[in-house]
Structure 1
Amino acid sequence: MLQTFKYNLLILIFFTQSIYPTRRSNVPIYSFFYHFRPFIRKLRMTTHIINHA
Structure 2
Amino acid sequence: MLSVNKTEAMQLNQWQSNEYPKIGDFNSDNLKIDNKFKDINTQLSDRTKSLKAMAWFGD
State the TM-score, normalizing by the size of structure 2: 0.39
State the TM-score, normalizing by the size of structure 1: 0.42
Q: Could you say which structure has the higher helix fraction?
A: 1
Greater relative contact order: 1 or 2 (C-alpha under 8 angstroms, separation 6 or more)?
A: 1
